[in-house]
Structures are given as C-alpha cells and as structure tokens.
Structure 1
C-alpha cells in the first residue's frame, strides 16, 4: 500500500477531524496519506434529521466508497454511525475521545438560565430539543439543519437567540473558546451516545501492515469501551439518532459507570437508568465485556420503566 486513502464527508468539521486522523496515520507510518472527500445524502438534503431517518444518512455513502475500494479507511463521527453491523466492514480503531459535552452558543453571552422568555433556540437534534423543552418550556425550539458555520450565522444574524452544538465539533474547528457561552454538564445534560468520539472504519480482513500499525496506535481502549457501552443502549432499544436518548459512560477508579436517559419529545417525561460494572482487567476484551454488560442492564431497566411508551423507539421482544 503506497498511499493510505482516507475517506470523509466534505464539510469543514469532517475535513478538520479527518485531517487530524490523517496526520496521525502519516506520523505513525511515515508514508503518504491522501484525503478523499465524499458527498453523503445527509450533506445535500435540507430535510430535518428526524424526517430523514437520522441513523446512517451521513454514513452510507462513505461505507459504499470503502467497499468499492475508493478509499482504505473512512472517518465517521461516532454519534452518526448506526449500531447495526455493516456487511464487509468493521471498526478498526476508536481514537481518544474529545469533550463529549454540548455547549450553548448565544447572543450577548446568554446562558440557558438567562435566555429571555420566548427566546428562539435552534437545534437539529430531537434529544437536544427534548432537553430544552424540559428545562425551559417557555423557549421556542427551532428545527435547523446545516453545518456549524450556518448554524452560528443564525445567531449572528439575530434570527435565533442561541443554538446548541457539540463542544467537540467547535473545538476541532478552533471556535469553541470564542463561540460557547455555556458548557452544559453531562450530569444534567447527557449527550448522544458516542458524541465527541470518532470511528475509523475499514474493510473486513487483515489490514495491510502499515495500516494495521496505524490503527493499533490510534485506538484508545477506554474510549472504545465507553462508546461501546453508550451505543449498546441504542442497539438494545433499537433506537437511532432520531430518538431522544442521552448516554454517558466513564471509566473511573476501576469501575465502568453508565447513565442513560430517554426523553419524551415534548420534554415532559424522562426515564433514567444508571449501572456500573467492574472489568476483570484493562485489556480490551475485558473492557468490552463490561461495557456490554452494563449497557444491557441499563437498557432492560429503561424498557421496564416504559421507555418505549414515551419516546419514538422501535423495540422488539
């Protein structure tokens, strides 16, 4: 493999995070790396994320390009990736996670508590919309689409009072310090499963030697385990990113903690489950076993508490 080709969406954010991954691959392999921009349906459609179906609208074109040998790896935002396996592909590495929190980007330095009554706040996420309605039912929650710059422009042009965005995305674009007016803490405002993490996907089978070396260096076992726990909740509920679900997993003092919350779309109800597991060791396999165990217990509790009745989930027996 003379050149490692890295596929990505063409948005500024996707290019920024993929460039960081490509630079690390190049540093590890000391070889040539080429970035291949790929347009996805989610990039060109102006429909809302929920009406598009949410899960997979940003991933399918990248995956097809990978299967068609147009690139050797693709870089996804993990929160955009469906939980179902994709035939012929596997996650080759999960780099260390960035900040998983959401932030408020508002006019005049407003926080969520100080926004004026009736303020217009934009988001394309059903989960964020439900959280906004729960904490501030007086707000007008506006469904928006577009890249980060487009969303921030809605505030700068005073069409909205604020938008809610991912801290990780703003950080990767170098905008976090200047644009965030409030960090929304995970204990009160859980974010999407996998938020802040990247997934490096490859074709099934043994990777070429240099690529395998890069994947081994890029993978971060703790991030791999915590993201697996969060995403397993989605898998057990058979819910996609169109469902209003937040999940936070952390590894602390030898314990893997997971808290998952399902919201009703109108923000009037929520169900939360919290569980912990003790991995046998910090080996990848033991961390993954603990992640699946804690997620399964959390999902069972959510279902028993009526999660399928308050949120748009598709659940089988």
Structure 2
C-alpha cells in the first residue's frame, strides 16, 4: 500500500510558502514520500499591531504548533528567529537545515546604499533590534535618519519605498533570497554593522516528539554546523530573558581556517531603540561538540552582557 502524503504545516505568506516548498522537496527526496502543504493562519499574520504590543514571542508559531499537537499536520516549518527559545512539550525540532545569508538588507530609493541615504531619511523596519543598531550606527557616523515602525509582507514593505512614503526599508536577506528578489537589494548590511536576530536565515522543522520514525526521517535534513551556531545564539537570547521582539542581535560564526572549523565566535548586542546606548560583546572558543556546550557558550556571553547593563536596555520583556 502506498503511504499517505505527509502534511506540512506552513504560514500562508508568500515567503513562508516558498521556504516550506523548498523543505517539502527536500523531504520528498529524503523519504520518498509525497508532501502536501497545509496553509495555516497565525495570530501574527492577522494582527496589525506592532509585535511588541501583541507579545512578539510565538505569535507566528502557536497556531502551527496547535495543528501539530492536534494531528492536523505531521510537521511544520518555522523561520527559526520566530521560534520561542523554550522547548514545547510534545514537540521537537527534528532538523535545522543549512542556513542561508543571515544579514539584513536595505531596499532604498534610487539604488542608494545606507551611507548614501539623504539627511533625515525615513527608514522602515518592524524590528527594535534593527532600530537600535541602525540608529547607533547613524549617530556614530554623523548621519541623521528616522526609523519608522512598519508591519506587513515583503510586497507591502517594499511598496512603502516605491510609493515614496519611505526612503528605505530593511528586511532579512534570507527571505528575499528565498523568494528570488535579491536583485531589489541596494545594500547588504554587514554583520559588523548590524547583527542579525538570533537564528536569522535558518529554518526549524518541528514535529511531534513521539513520532520516532518521522523524527529520524526529518533529521536527514539537519546541518550540524547551523544547529550548533543557532543553539548558541538562542541560548544567549534565552539567558537574557528576551523574546523575539526584543532589541537583541546575535551571530555565531564558525571560524574556518581553510580546513575544518575549530573555533566559534559568538557576538551579541542589546541596545535602546534610539541607538543612544548599546552593549555589544563577543566571545570565542572551541566549536561546541554538544548541545549543552553550545548552550553554555550563549549563557556565558549573556552573563557578561548583563554585567555590562544589558537588562536595562531591553525595555519591555517578552510576555
């Protein structure tokens, strides 16, 4: 008898459908089974309030997790940066596929790079993390910008620039890559200038922990290098007791000497959204060889950041 198709739960947005489609194809190749996409609307998709007002943490994943636990879908695909750091009872992240570009990207009028934006430029973003770092960079380089909070999908956000309402918007490079729109980017923002959200550019494939056969099948898609890096980043976020909408950036780099990487550098930043104060630190150590080692690295850096006053810069904590 032919096995039934696996049901993949996904948000309805163009980006979510695109990234879920890539995962579906990879699962088909790995398992030999058909995969069908099941579109699910999350609270984060329907609410027009700013993420900090609706809680930020988990608003894009709760409905997908309910569908998993209710047996409506077999597995789900999340943007890892949207996933709460606490594990969800009954579910497991079976795979973290290879990460794509973790950087933020600028889409500006007239093809402008960030340093070439006009005085007083209006820059749209829905992220307090981006606001904090963009404003801090502008302050330190004698630039004057106004960061404007926005919501909406990629088309909506870029539309603000096309209509002239904003001079530029900042988006995740990975999302633009996955929907084939990197040609609209006018400037890729270096991670030395703006650290991404913890887990940015990576996906999480989640399924019921009790389905051992499915967990094992999905694990074929896991990339150990990406897994250890995002584990350290998310550990830092959790230790700061901050949620997805907090002004926290983090990136773990595996330092490759041309052979196998032996060291990993973890960088973290917390700041006020006006850019007037930042705590930015880094630590380097051996590449973690276990989940526990990666968690310990994140906690260590978070402890140093808290000692430097990071808690006072985060404002509203996750709900």
Q: TM-score range by the shorter chain?
A: over 0.9
Aligned ranges for residues 90-109 of structure 1 at < 5 Å?
90-109=92-111
Q: Corresponding residue for 2:127? A: 125
Correspondence for 1:283: none
Segment of structure 1 superposing worse, 214-223 or 14-23: 214-223
Cα offset for 1:164? 0.2
Whether 1:202 and 2:210 are equivalent positions in the alignment is no
Query: In the TM superposition, what is the alpha-carbon distance from 1:193 to its structure 2 partner?
Result: 0.1
Select between 8-17 and 264-273 the one with higher mean Cα deviation: 264-273
Confirm or deny that 1:144 pairs with 2:150.
yes
Aligned 1:1-317 pairs, distance under 5 A: 2-137=4-139, 138-176=144-182, 178-208=183-213, 211-252=214-255, 253-279=261-287, 286-312=289-315, 314=317
Does the CA-based 8 Å contact 2:137-2:193 persist in structure 1?
A: no
8 Å CA contact 1:83, 1:234 repeated in 2? yes
After superposing the two structures, state which structure 1 stretch, 93-102 or 263-272, moved more: 263-272
Rounded to whole Å, the distance in 1 between the matches of 2:216 and 2:93 is 15
Q: Is the 8 A contact 2:78 2:204 kept in 1?
A: yes
CA offsets 1:38-68 (integer angstroms, 9 cap, x no match): 0000001110111111111101000000100
TM-score, normalised relative to structure 2:
0.93
**Distance between the aligned counterparts of 2:89 and 2:220, measured in 1?**
25
- The CA deviation at 1:98 is 0.6
Measured after TM superposition, the shift of residue 2 of structure 1 is: 2.0
Aligned to 2:258: none
TM-score, normalising length from structure 1?
A: 0.94
The C-alpha deviation readout for 1:277-315, integer Å capped at 9, x for no partner, is 2147xxxxx242331121111010011111111222649
How far apart are the structure 1 equivalents of 2:304 and 2:216? 40
Shift of 1:118: 1.0
For structure 1, the 5+ residue unaligned runs are 281-285
Q: Size of the alignment, in residue pairs?
A: 307
RMSD (Å), alpha carbons? 1.4
- 199-208 or 160-169: which moved more? 199-208
1:88 is displaced (CA, Å) by 1.2
Question: How far, CA to CA, are the matches of 1:279 and 1:243 in structure 2?
Answer: 27
Deviations for 1:95-126, whole angstroms, at most 9, x for unmatched residues?
00010000100010111111001111100001
Q: Structure 1 residues 30 and 93, CA, compared in 2 at 3 Å: closer, same or farther?
A: same
Inter-partner Cα distance in structure 2 for 1:214 and 1:154: 42
Moved beyond 4 Å, runs of 4+: none
